[in-house]
Amino acid sequence: MSNDYRHLWKDLGLNLENHDALLNVLGKMYGDIFMSQKSRPAKTAYLDFVMSEVHGLRIKELVDGKKQGKKVIGTYCTFVPEEIVLAANGVMVGLCAGADFATEAVEKYLPRNLCALIKSTFGFKLGGVCPYLEASDMIVGENTCDGKKKAWEVFKGLVKNLYVMDMPQTKNEQAKTILRAEYRKFKTAIEKLTGNTITVEGLKKAIAVVNAKRTVIHRLSALRAADPAPISGLDSLLINQIFFYEDPVRFTGQINELCDELEARVRNKAGVAVPKTPRILVSGCPMAVPNWKIPSIIETSGAVIVGEESCVGERGTRNLVSDAGDTVDALVDNLVDRYLKIDCAIFTPNSERLDHIREMASRYKADGVILYGLQFCTPYSVEALGIEKELEKQGIPAIRIETDYSQEDVGQLKTRIQAFIERLQG
């Protein structure tokens, strides 16, 4: 990344030495994992560009916007409605972190036995390496899992302007009431922060923008049903990751162009792997940049990933928001309806998730399902046992993989995943 950004990073208060170290690792990882892929669609050049400028051009855009009065809202969860932020002329960026950083410092604030994603969130703050976090005028935490819920109490002391959104634990009528109250409260907080009143027209426009971004992901997902798969799981995951911080309109346009190319590939039976390559559905915990460990192992072991049942994937993007309604409250209710359909494991019961996994496996012609869990993520690890049993019972091969962000278990994971892929070929 260009040296011109160093002033920008310094002004944001980053630790330049740590940040250089992170960028070096990130750059090398990206090169090793993404640039070594064969038969990538030409349009993945967009992804390469976005990633090369992930702490550069995009941050400059945010900072330039801030100078013109735009507010940046940093989030950690698919339950924070981007529509409300956009309707108040704000920018929403995902802050979840996918690499171990400053672990020793983190463990002064959090127990060791906590999921890597939360620890990484703290590490990126304590290490001073996340320009998105430092550029955020408001940081939104949410009471989803125990780990996050309790971590926000500590995080509050490390950042300025942490806003915590409560969440229901069920999906009954009461849950709807809770989420409705929280979304209305959030709307008020965003209006206060930005100084902009959210109007029916503005919210409808925002709904259209976010729906469009989701729709292009639906288009991409449908194209991946083809055999041979026209794009790798790694590149598709990256698209789902970029989804969280790229400008939404630009993202939609660029991914639509990529889909045009993929459509031609499907017509020409061109793909990233030979036909009949074992096809994997990955299901479970979210994967934040640069957590590419499992997909990279899978796709260098003779299989191709054809879908992600994940918050960073179809769980997060599958449903659209209705724009029917003549009041802001009615539109907020539409948001509640849409977001409460997300089948996150924090809900009880959450049996829709198994239905969705089966549906995805069938739609994308997956030969097997890898249930991916972050160590110490209780909601997903409890669900994984039952889902694995149920899938196997229905003739869909499944395997549970639990890991963290370290590289220590790569050899062992490779062995298990290769054995699973061999089973699919047999």
- Positions touching its own copies (CB under 8 A) are 108-111, 113-114, 143, 145-147, 149-154, 164, 166-167, 169-170, 172, 174, 177-178, 181, 345-346, 348-350, 375-376, 378-379, 381-386, 402
CB 133 within 8 Å of CB 114? no
Residue 270 beta carbon to its own copies: minimum distance, rounded to whole angstroms: 42
Instruction: Specify the residue, 172 or 362, whose C-beta has the smaller distance to its own copies.
Output: 172
Task: Name the minimum Å distance from CB 76 to its own copies.
Answer: 15
Residue number with CB closer to its own copies (206 or 377): 377
**Shortest distance, position 150 Cβ to its own copies, whole Å:** 4
Contacts of 18 (CB under 8 A, 6+ apart): 101, 102, 127, 128, 129
Q: What three-state secondary structure class fits 163?
A: strand
Measured in whole angstroms, the distance separating CA 118 from the mean position of its chain's CA atoms is 14
Residue 21 contacts by C-beta under 8 Å, 6 or more apart in sequence?
Answer: none
Using the minimum distance from each CB to its own copies, give the nearer residue, 134 or 182. Answer: 182
Question: What six digits make up the tokens of 226?
Answer: 């083809």
Nearer to its own copies among residue 166 and residue 422 (C-beta): 166
What are residue 378's phi and psi, to 5 degrees? Answer: -60, -50
With respect to its own copies, which residue has the nearer C-beta, 322 or 378?
378
CB closer to its own copies, 69 vs 386: 386
Instruction: In whole angstroms, give the CA distance from residue 288 to residue 26.
Output: 13
CB of 169 to its own copies, least distance (A): 5
Helical H segments across 15-110, by residue range: 16-30, 45-52, 57-67, 82-87, 103-106
Distances 288 to 117, 158, 220, 243 between C-alpha atoms, Å: 8, 21, 19, 11
CB of 156 to its own copies, least distance (A): 9
At closest approach, how far in Å is the CB of 147 from its own copies?
5
d(CA 111, CA 155): 13
**Minimum CB distance to its own copies smaller for 60 or for 149:** 149
Residue 383 token pair: 């669900």
Burial (CB count <10 Å: 0-12, 13-18, 19+), residue 282: buried
Nearest to 95 by CA among 146, 134, 127, 57: 134
Least spacing, CB of residue 170 vs its own copies, in Å:
5
Beta carbon of residue 178, minimum distance to its own copies (angstroms, whole number): 6
CA count, 13 A, side-chain hemisphere, 209: 23
Residue that has been written with the tokens 């977001």 in this structure: 339
Q: For residues 418 and 406, is the Cβ–Cβ distance under 8 A?
A: no
By beta-carbon proximity to its own copies, the closer residue of 17 and 146 is 146
Least separation, in Å, of the C-beta of 12 and its own copies?
28
Half-sphere exposure of 214 (CA within 13 A, CB side): 22
Nearer to its own copies, 299 or 383 (CB): 383
